[in-house]
Amino acid sequence: MPLDLSDTLVVGISATALFDLAEADAVYKAKYARNPHSALDEYRAYMLERENEPLRDGTGMALVRALLGLNRYAPSESKPLVEVVVMSRNSPETGVRVFNNIRSRGLAISRHAFTGGQSVVDYLDAFAVDLFLTTNVDDAQRVIDAQACAAAILKPPPHTAEAPPDDQVRIAFDGDAVLFDDASELVYKTEGLDRFHTIENEKKNEPMNDGPYAILLRKLARLQERLPFGADVSPVRIAIVTARSAPAEMRVINTLRHWGVYVNEIFFLGGVQKTKVVKAFRAHIFFDDQDLHLDPAAKHVPSGRVPYRSDSPLYSAPLAAAGAPLFAPLLDMGSEPPLLVDKVDAG
């Protein structure tokens, strides 16, 4: 009988998000630039020579460790609370270094997808993935456009960051265009702050529509329910860190109530920088849609950018009214070599 993971949080993570493979990525790109025909063989030799060498932690490692640690609370006869699947464009042969590092760290990861240069996106549904963490811009965009699951492009690891608690899972989310749809953010971008506040106050009792991370938030709420703790003392702590302020705050509260989701902490910042808040929260990961917030935060906590859907005006349109910066359109990576390691976001 097939394994039913419908009640399990499943995280798919690329090898370059779990481990810091920037050096291997750079080696392959350099070899490809010199000779595209021999690059693959040379890269394979490079990886085989180093398959027993340790790798540094990638941006997603702290989150993966913390999530897998929750399985100690699962009754022995029940389905796991969390599953992690490593998904990589490496071939199985060149991925041995990744396998060895998973084993040496004692990570309880038993499922893998190594696709030999092909995108892993087509296999997300097969593994019932709820959250996909990657360094590949194109893969993340495909996932978001297909509304397959939550996805983020991870920033480089914050090597000097204070370690988050090892007995909790602490996840911080932005609100608009992440948990909630982008309709309200579009009003702000196109009509300004005063109009945004007026409309949000008028609609304070009207729930917002789902954003790309709404289903993940509900899955995390279900994870809290499966743990032998009340939500207020659960080891899974969820924070919303949003630039909203009064009178736009009540629509957030009422939307969460409508969804039946408990959030431990909410910060309505009204222009205060998010970095110090997520640093104080000691997040295992922080999800936001704008590099304006992510780049400074990523120096202190693991962070991931949530792409806009390609059909959203926020994806590339230079909206001008409110003066709030949007991140630049995603780079066209089509001219790069067909990497076997996952492409690292140039942004």
To the nearest 10°, the Cα dihedral for 328, 332, 333, 334? 170
Give the three-class secondary structure for 184.
helix
Instruction: List the Cα angle 276/280/282 in 5-degree steps.
Output: 120
Cβ distance 338 to 117 under 8 Å? yes
- The counts of H helices and E strands in the chain are 12, 10
Q: Which of 156, 186, 110 is nearest to 297 (CA)?
A: 156
Cβ distance 212 to 182 under 8 Å? no
Judge whether 291 counts as a catalytic residue.
no
Q: Which of 120, 76, 121, 99 is nearest to 18 (CA)?
A: 99
Question: In the chain, what's the furthest Cα-to-Cα distance?
Answer: 63
Q: Which of 20, 25, 139, 174 is catalytic?
A: 174
DSSP string, 223-279: HHHHSSS-GGG-SEEEEEEES--TTSHHHHHHHHHHHT---SEEEE-TTS-SHHHHH
Give the three-class secondary structure for 198.
helix
Q: Which two tokens stand for residue 184?
A: 């309200």
Q: Which two tokens stand for residue 46?
A: 């490079």
Residues assigned a catalytic role? 174
